[in-house]
Structure 1
Amino acid sequence: MNPGEELKQVAARPLSFGQTIRAVAWSFFGVRKGSEHEADMAKLNPVHVIIAGVIGAALFVLLLVLLVRWVISSGVAG
């Protein structure tokens, strides 16, 4: 099998983007059963995983920035 065919086959994996986001969200928390992780790895679309990871990281950074701004403006930090 040539690399182009293999890439097409991997990109056509069956999990939806919503299911991929759920799997990535659980991985951010670090709470996964080994069997569920293995099952997801066989079905996840790598392109969806990358997009979901970037979105999750951006939301996490945004949440931290908003939390820090709120703490500073409330006078708790001072």
Structure 2
Amino acid sequence: MAQKRSFLATLVAIAWSFVGLRRKKDFDVDAEGAFNPLYVFVAALLGLAAFIGLLMLAVRLAVS
């Protein structure tokens, strides 16, 4: 069984996944269950907040 990733490592892995750039080796480790589900949930909430913030900033810049 793969060693669990830290929260920071989970954030980095998810950020690279958003961009679509992941090494096969890293993907294989992730597929073995290296993620803590709580970390993934919190990272998803942070990513969602950042995405909404960027959209609001883009709209604010576009209308000003």
Per the alignment, residue 8 of structure 2 pairs with: 18
Q: Distance in 1 between matches of 2:29 and 2:50?
A: 26
TM-score by length of 1: 0.68
Per the alignment, residue 56 of structure 1 pairs with: 47
Question: C-alpha offsets along residues 36-60 of structure 1, whole Å, 9 cap, x if unaligned?
Answer: 1111333111110111012111101
Any residues of structure 2 matched to 1:27-66 within 5 Å, and which? 27-42=17-32, 43-66=34-57
How far 1:34 moved relative to its partner?
2.1
Matched positions, count: 61
Percentage identity across aligned positions? 39
Select the structure with the greater relative contact order (CA < 8 A; seq sep ≥ 6): 2
RMSD: 1.4
Name the larger-Rg structure. 1
How far 1:29 moved relative to its partner?
0.7
Structure 1 residue runs of 4+, over 3 Å off?
A: none
